Amino acid sequence: MSQAIPMVDLKLQYQELKSELTPLLESVFENTHFILGPNVQAFEKETAKYIGVKHAISCASGTDALHLALLAAGIKEGDEVITTPFTFIATAEAIRYCNADPVFVDIEPDTLNIDIDAIKAAITDKTKAILPVHLFGLPANMDKIKKLAEKHNLKIIEDCAQSFGANYKGVQTGAIGDAGCYSFFPSKNLGCYGDGGLITTNSDEMADTIRTYRNHGSSKRYYHDVIGFNSRLDEIQAAILRVKLKRIDGYNAGRLRVAQAYWDNLCDLPILIPNPEPTNSNHVFHQYTLLSERRDEIMKALQDDNIGCAVYYPVPLHMQKAFDYRKVKENLPITEHVMKTCMSLPIFPEMTDEQIERVCSVIKSVFN
Ligand SMILES: *Cc1c(COP(=O)(O)O)cnc(C)c1O
């Protein structure tokens, strides 16, 4: 059996960071300021600067980031939020946490991001926000989303869980809409060693609300203005994230190198692969996802050679049981075609040329 090539290898990155992380974690333990301590404060300042926003507020997860941002945007019972069905469930769970309803619209066949004409067609007088996801690390078409939002007076909450470091026309994702929501789940482009999340915004008012909600509805200790949550990033994770933030551009460049090599090797095959250099934006390749009618054959060949691969996402959200309560049956043909033909290949910054070549030669063998 050939040596395994995993979808992601977090161990390589840890080995490289170990000598820096070990004394750093010891200093956090010695300091004992574990909740909203100095590393959390510094990390918020450093990410706000990196992303180019006035405020970055950390919280316990990407899911919480979406929930807190939607609350701060005033989303409440009876409101509709337009989003993509082709994403991780957290995107729409957060809408339900506000007792609002997700409205799922179709995606673009080439970018796999939310389709602008489909958003337009779904706007009603209940619509309060658009929640685009920069899926797999590719920014959604933010110019057109902004235009629509301005015209209909809607908030834009960006799901940036997969797009840390991506920019659209030179502006970072998370700095374009009313708020950006990040996840630091370990396998994300900027991942910690547990759960973590962050909200970015240029609005002082939204930032205040989010800071209050994440800490038991309290802006002054033991005075509680609203019923809030316990949703904070912890000091240990913040310390780790600060070390990784300094390296994020290098990590994303490593992912782009892999995507470019896949492009060079696979672009002549009858499969649809992502352009490593899209116009208007940079792709940070959280996932490398291709489309092929022969997906199942390709996956079997890779698995037979001990190479990781996966389907993101096998069941789009409008077809999930959790959303049956809506009694709506959307017809979303592009999404339903993509779910049957999509698959993702291994991608991580440390992937070697030999590993990339082995993945490509197995895929080519399917078509020979
Ligand atoms: C990972 C992810 C989330 C949720 O993040 P958690 O930190 O796991 O809660 C939300 N949206 C998308 C698109 C994601 O990929």
Tokens representing 38? 């100095």
pLDDT band at 143 (very low <50, low <70, confident <90, very high): very high
Cα separations (Å) of 293 from 71, 301, 302, 351?
Answer: 41, 15, 16, 27
Q: Judge whether residue 23 has pLDDT over 90.
A: yes
- Is the C-beta atom of 195 inside 6 A of ligand 1? yes
With vertex at residue 44, the alpha carbon angle to CA 49 and CA 39, rounded to the nearest 5 degrees, is 125
Residue having the nearest C-alpha atom to atom 2 of ligand 1: 161
Q: Judge whether residue 360 has pLDDT over 90.
A: yes
Residue having the nearest C-alpha atom to atom 7 of ligand 1: 62
pLDDT band at 262 (very low <50, low <70, confident <90, very high): very high
pLDDT tens string 205-235: 999 999 999 999 998 889 999 999 999 999 9
Contact of 139 with 112, CB cutoff 8 Å: no
List beta partners, residue 247. none
- The values of phi and psi at residue 107, to 5°, are -110, 170
Helix (H, G, I), strand (E, B) or coil at 52: coil
- Is the C-beta atom of 132 inside 6 A of ligand 1? no
pLDDT tens string 310-353: 999 999 999 999 999 988 889 999 999 999 999 999 999 999 99
Q: Judge whether residue 367 has pLDDT over 90.
A: yes
- Tell me, in angstroms, the distance from the centre of ligand 1 to residue 231's CA: 15
- Is the C-beta atom of 61 inside 6 A of ligand 1? yes
Helix (H) or strand (E) holding 68, with range, is helix 62-72
Mean pLDDT of 341-366: 98
Residue having the nearest C-alpha atom to atom 14 of ligand 1: 161
Contact of 168 with 34, CB cutoff 8 Å: no
Contact of 103 with 126, CB cutoff 8 Å: no
| pTM reported for the whole predicted model | 0.98
- Tell me, in angstroms, the distance from the centre of ligand 1 to residue 190's CA: 12
Cα–Cα dist 342/364, whole Å: 17
Q: What is the pLDDT of residue 329?
A: 84
- Tell me, in angstroms, the distance from the centre of ligand 1 to residue 91's CA: 7
